[in-house]
Chain A
């Protein structure tokens, strides 16, 4: 080929333009333009050739700015995959840590997405509110409400278009071969209407069905309708026996319905029967929701309800009582929110450590790639092109890690679902949706850029340096960045470890807390002796007495007792009472206490200590003197300095008996929860207060409490065949369940912290190993000059420990910024507890020392002869 000469400005313009064309395309580009211009010259002459040559400039600019094309991206990706395949060790380590980091972050986000971001499963959920009671006089808040009060609020409030209530219990279904215990919600007739739920079949309740005199009707869950009634459409209208009374089935609730109050699955819904003739303003046990009227804000509703509550307080002598209006979404999520937010922050820390770790690894790799990059630059790759290539490498890594993480997150969500189902009434579905996918993608890309950018820039800079200096060692340049990354990892992992340590201390403190009873070796279960079993209350009490005797006689149990509500067994009742000698007050006025109905054996069985007076015993029959035992707090708060024994006590609303005599005082029991102060409690003997047909039976077994259930069932089969046992658990299991949320938070944060510390250790190891490799020549010279092994070891250890100490200082300092977040989860320990801070720093220091040790020892193995020859 001849290369024709181009006329003057044309060749200069072409040369100039070619500078803008990426080198990889430049030769071909020039060839095309030269051919065109030489032909133009032959055809049209010099002037037009120069004119045509000007077009090379826009062409070159266009190529320069549009160099990035889909094909090239594909090419980059292919190249990146080849690069990764050549380093399987690095690939596996990077993918594993990324999968862990992105997986954990995504999994937690999917929980947050399901719980905090997803709307409640009802129409117009923003208009739904929860109503809570509070009592300013007693400093209590978020308590339940009185049903009669709620009727008054509903009838008076114009800011509400609906108000409904619910309370939960269980009933026995006696249809079929075997009696079945069913979870039942007793609700307002308008309950489903307020929530906006339509029946699957039949209808829901009518307003008149709120009345206790109305025929009893029941609504079934879809599951119950399918399992027990064979999904028979004719089931509506049928009569079923519940706890010995006929109920007409009027409708079926769709299977995906979940009420806003109770985490357990509901089988049946019935109306709460109001006895208008005998209004009781004393008991506060109803949970309530309401729907705001259109255009009414929550503040306006609160204002109106404040006024109504004040009127109720005046009318019925309940000073200080009020009603708080809370968005339902907030009420449902409750205490789960801070736990989730803390865990999400923690997992973000883990991801940051993963990124720092990978950035460190890539920096180490960058040193080895300097020659490759220099060659590519020499062959015409622009800096931008190489930067892009390096970023594509880290992004392909993070994308693959993200895909693996998404799979790991899917595994985790099954477990998370169980937790959420146990903790949140509406039990949102924790399933990956598009938001979770988008989150995982965003997190993957962000982490890919985060851990890829700095090493990529460093690589380029290093390559430029080595190109200038002819391949010399400019690796020291990257060292401050590498050190900073390690310090960050140590600091972040320490923050997580402090959090986990504080939760652990809280947990231990809580478990060691005086419960007021001895939970070890205690089997508990529930039974219900219904009206169909024992029509007379006396016969029902007798059944329980005989059952206790039989269990004692047949099993190895050392004591048996029963109670209407076990500790940790559910909500507070707070029933109004009156002490002898108090000013007579109008109905409903006065103080409230917890009602416990027990058998004589209950105190011994539970291991509740007697402080004064005596237990219940065989003297305390239905006909004997009416007696009560009170708790320590009850005696101190309401009887005061007087001798409590002999004081007169009676319930305010529903106790027709004369004053009952206090015959004993027992130690307080942590009833509501392990971390709440004890409540005033009043114990009554079951024979004298036989209104509870459903009782918890506690059996002190010693040894393996769970295994004793067979003995109990055998005893029951003899004494009361056909009565179902349910809710079987050891007392220790109940205690464990009551702190499940805490335990999950502790275990999750603990796991994250351990992963974090481990990763930080690996990061530290990587940096020191690299340092040793870089300085092997120097170390060799030192050893040749007579340095002892300890001195060499010390040299390496010193560097590692300086980084660790700086990291620990930064982490401890950083802790003070985030300490406030975790305060709500702590119990009995301050967020800045010096012991925990010290212990966790020691753990990090120990891991760091271990991480430093291997490179330090390896440094002593440097052969001076080899090192010097290199």
Chain B
């Protein structure tokens, strides 16, 4: 089984929960950006995450630059299952709410 740090586990859980970009994940997990970004990079490199640029029109409508959105790949779901097995109560540990939800 791959080594899963707690931070990685929490990031995975946040993305599974529908948080799709860095700042959103930051708010959901309460972890600093310096922890979240390397975790995102590693997960994406390992094929656990997929990323894509937000539709430009959507962003413009919202009067902000386009974001990079992250979603779980199949391998990411597998890793999440392992993470949940290791860190019990992970799903309930997210403190915040989705940042862009009203």
Contact = CB atoms under 8 A, between A and B. Distances in A.
Interface residues of B, number: 25
Contact of B65 (A4, A43, A51, A53): A4
Contact of A58 (B38, B56, B60): B38
Contact of A66 (B23, B37, B41, B60): B41
Contact of A3 (B23, B42, B45, B65): B65
Contacts of A36: 21-23, 33, 67
Contact of A55 (B21, B36, B59, B65): B36
A34 interface: yes
B30 interface: no
B89 interface: no
B14 interface: no
Nearest to A40: B23
B56 to A, nearest CB: 7
Contacts of B59: 1, 35
A336 interface: no
Contacts, number: 77
Majority DSSP secondary structure for residues of A touching B: helix
B65 to A, nearest CB: 4
Interface string B19-31: 0011100110000
Interface string A51-88: 11111111100110010010000000000000000000
Contacts of A32: 22, 67-68
B23 A39 contact: yes
A273 to B, nearest CB: 70
A42 interface: yes
A3 B60 CA distance: 11
A58 B35 CA distance: 8
A315 B19 CA distance: 100
Contacts of B41: 59, 62-63, 66
Given A40-B23, A69-B45, A35 B37 contact: no
B21 A51 contact: no
Given A1-B60, A52-B26, A35 B36 contact: no
Nearest to B46: A69
B67 A35 contact: yes
Contacts of A43: 23, 27, 99
A55 B67 contact: no
B64 A38 contact: yes
B23 to A, nearest CB: 5
Contacts of A228: none
Interface in B42-76: 42, 45, 56, 59-60, 63-68
Contact of A35 (B33, B42, B65): B65
A220 to B, nearest CB: 58
A54 B35 CA distance: 11
Interface in A807-864: none
B38 A59 contact: yes
A31 to B, nearest CB: 7
Contacts of A4: 64-65
Interface in A244-287: none
B56 A1 contact: yes
Contacts of B33: 36, 51-56, 59
B34 interface: yes
A55 B7 CA distance: 14
A832 to B, nearest CB: 61
Contacts of A69: 45
B16 to A, nearest CB: 20
A428 B22 CA distance: 65
A2 interface: yes
Q: Give the interface centre of A3, A31, A55, A63 by most chain B CB atoms within 10 Å.
A: A55
A69 B47 CA distance: 12
B34 A57 contact: yes
Given A1-B56, A63-B41, A58 B34 contact: yes
Q: Give the interface centre of B38, B56, B65 by most chain A CB atoms within 10 Å.
A: B65
B18 interface: no
A298 B43 CA distance: 61
Contacts of B45: 66, 69
B64 A35 contact: yes
B65 A62 contact: no
Contacts of A2: 63, 65
Nearest to A61: B38
Contacts of A39: 21, 23, 64, 67
Contact of A56 (B26, B37, B56): B37
Q: Give the interface centre of A39, A51, A62 by most chain B CB atoms within 10 Å.
A: A39
A60 B95 CA distance: 27
Contacts of B42: 62, 66
Nearest to A63: B41
Q: Give the interface centre of B21, B22, B66 by most chain A CB atoms within 10 Å.
A: B22
Contacts of A31: 65-66, 68
A52 B23 CA distance: 8
Nearest to B33: A55
A10 to B, nearest CB: 11
A650 B33 CA distance: 105
Nearest to B99: A43
Interface in A559-578: none
A53 B23 CA distance: 11
A63 B38 CA distance: 8
Contacts of A52: 23, 26, 32-33
A86 to B, nearest CB: 31
A837 B2 CA distance: 63
A300 to B, nearest CB: 54
Nearest to A35: B65
B38 to A, nearest CB: 4
A63 B44 CA distance: 12
B36 A38 contact: no
B66 A35 contact: yes
21 contacts: A2-B63, A2-B65, A32-B67, A35-B64, A35-B68, A36-B21, A36-B22, A36-B33, A36-B67, A39-B21, A39-B23, A39-B67, A40-B23, A43-B99, A52-B33, A55-B33, A55-B35, A56-B37, A59-B33, A59-B41, A62-B41
The 9 closest A-B pairs by CB, nearest first: A55-B33, A59-B37, A55-B34, A62-B38, A58-B34, A35-B65, A32-B68, A36-B22, A52-B33
Given A31-B66, A52-B32, 7 more contacts: A1-B56, A34-B65, A35-B21, A43-B27, A54-B33, A55-B32, A59-B33
